[in-house]
Copies of this chain bind each other. A is one copy, B any other.
Amino acid sequence: MEAQRVAVIGAGAVGSYYGARLAQAGHDVHFLMRRDYDAVRAGGLHCTSPQGDFVLDAPSIARTAAEIGPADWVVCALKSTSIGEARALAGPCVGPRTRILLLMNGLGLEERFAEWFGRERIFGGMAFTCVNRGEPGCVHHLAYGAVTVGHLLDDAAEVARALALWAPARVEFSGVESLRRARWEKLCWNIPFNGLCVAAGGVMTDVVVGDPALRAIARATMEEVVVAGNADLEARGEALRLDGPAIVETMFALTDNMGPYRPSTMIDYVEGRQMEVPAIFGAPLARAQELGVATPHLATLTALLQQYARNRPGAAT
């Protein structure tokens, strides 16, 4: 595949890191930047990584999507709390043949993009990675980093095109047969760990897995998400299911190995920023309730996080 024109919308930790990996691989990457624009203009985009630190000396950056214009791929890594601005932010980069990959957390976001831009061009990426922003112009890749990608219509040929884009990049990238299942699988981690790291008072993942009581709650929460996800997949007529025991075992093994990691929602919480409560918690809970699945742990975490969110400036709950 020849170099593709890529617009990265939302250059937070995830967008900056994965965009930098695409640029490093030779793609023509353009970053929409807000907070870090001046720092990157002056000193480049710095990534620390266990795979080796690297720098993009002079990446193409823009303050508006119109400056970037239509791209082959839009990689959208906005926080889901900015979903209301996503159409306006991404729109100028979407031409007739543009494909859109969401590197975002939560349920139902691809459907929103599909309403605006058409289903056939929408992909969802599940990044299982520990990556945090550092000082402006710097992003810290701490651990993991594999991404799975699915297509909103589960079109295998389209998934193959996404894999081709990422093939030259130093990212472990693989395709999934069912985007919906992969979204729920990602939520199996995000709901218990993002949720409990916040609700336990702003603690890191090692506290949750290290305390027997919190660990049991995390596990029970994860099992609820599996049940809710499988009810959703069944209701949608999908053939595939979540393998609960395997997911629980894998997620806890990964988290045990993660050390003291701060999930994004916990960082948002302790830093007083908007948390991704509607997409990560509210939407899955609403779907579970619609399907009549009992989710006491998910409901409790959601109610608590909504309450915390209510006390932040500009919070949309």
Could you list which residues of chain A lie within 8 angstroms of chain B, going by C-beta atoms? 199-201, 203, 207, 211, 213-214, 216-217, 220, 296-297, 299-304, 306-308, 310-311
Question: In the complex, how many angstroms separate the beta carbon of A105 from the nearest chain B beta carbon?
Answer: 21
Is B307's CB under 8 angstroms from A214's CB?
yes
A200 near B307 with CB under 8 A, answer: yes
A214-B317 Cα distance, complex, nearest whole Å: 14
- Cross-chain contact B303 with A300 (CB below 8 angstroms): no
Chain B residue contacts of A203, Cβ below 8 A: 307
Given contacts A296-B296, A296-B297, contact A303 B220 (CB under 8 A): no
Closest chain B CB from A316 CB (angstroms): 15
- Greatest chain B CB density within 10 A among A207, A300, A301, A307 is at A300
> Quick one: closest B residue to A294, CB to CB?
B296
Determine if A303 and B207 form an interchain contact, defined as CB atoms under 8 angstroms apart. Answer: no
Contact among B213, B220, B306 with A306 in the assembled complex (CB-CB below 8 Å): B213
Complex: A214 Cα to B213 Cα, angstroms: 22
Contacts of A296 in B (CB 8 A): 220, 296-297, 300
A201 near B308 (CB under 8 angstroms)? yes
Quick check: B307 and A217 within 8 Å, CB to CB?
A: no
Choose one: B214, B297, B311; the contact of A201 (CB below 8 Å).
B311
Is the beta-carbon distance between B311 and A214 smaller than 8 angstroms? no
